[in-house]
Amino acid sequence: MRTRSRARILLSLVILLLACCAPLGEPLIGPVAPPPPGMARLVVYRPLEYYGTQTMPLLYLNGASAGVTQNGGVLVRDVPPGTYLISVAPSESYPGQFKTIAVRSGDTFFVNIQPLPSPCTSIILGFSRCSGDTFIVTVVDPQIGFPQVQGLRLLAAGGARLRPSARS
C-alpha cells in the first residue's frame, strides 16, 4: 500500500516537472498584423522583469475578463469599435491606474501593464508587512510599444467576445 502511494506521488511530481518544461508561448518577432476588417486591435503586454513580481493579474475590458497577463507576455485582442475601460485585478489601488480608450475600426493600440515596486513597511517589533502588487495601465505610442513587445511571449491572440461600453 505504501509503495503504491509513493509511486503516485512520484508520478505526480514527474508530470509537474514535465509541465514546467512546456513552452509558454512563441516569441513575438516582426510586425504586428493589422486587425481584421471592422475591428480594432489591442496589444497588451508586460515587459520582462527578472526580479519583478510574478503575479499574473487578469486583464479586463469593460469589466469582462479578456485574458491573463504575465511577466514578459503579450496578449493580442481584436475588439469592435467603441470605448473600453482597461483594468487588471487583483491590484492594489493607485490614482489613475486604469485607462479608458476609444477605438475605431482599423486602430491598433499598445497597452503596457506595469507593476509598481511593492513597498514594505516596518511595524511593531521589527516585523515588516508588504502590501500586494499594484499594476498601472499605460496606453503607449505605437512607435514605443512596437519595439517593446519584440521578443516577448505571445500568450494569446484573437478576438475577445466583448462589447464596447454603452458610452461609445
pLDDT of residue 94: 84
Whether residue 162 is contained in a domain is answered as no
pLDDT tier at 16, thresholds 50, 70, 90:
very low
DSSP state of 158: S
Whether residue 117 is contained in a domain is answered as yes
Q: Which three cell numbers stand for residue 74?
A: 503579450
Whether residue 146 is contained in a domain is answered as yes
What is 86-134 written as a DSSP string?
EEEES----TT-SEEEEE-TT-EEEEEEEEEP--EEE-GGG-EEE---E
Total domains, the chain? 1
Q: Which three cell numbers stand for residue 142?
A: 505605437
If one compares 147 and 95, the residue with the highest pLDDT of the two is: 147
pLDDT of residue 26: 86
Q: What is the pTM of this model?
A: 0.76
Beginning with the edge strand found earlier in the chain, give each strand of the sheet holding 73-79 in spatial order. 134-140, 108-116, 40-45, 73-79, 153-156
Whether residue 3 is contained in a domain is answered as no
Whether residue 132 is contained in a domain is answered as yes
Whether residue 123 is contained in a domain is answered as yes
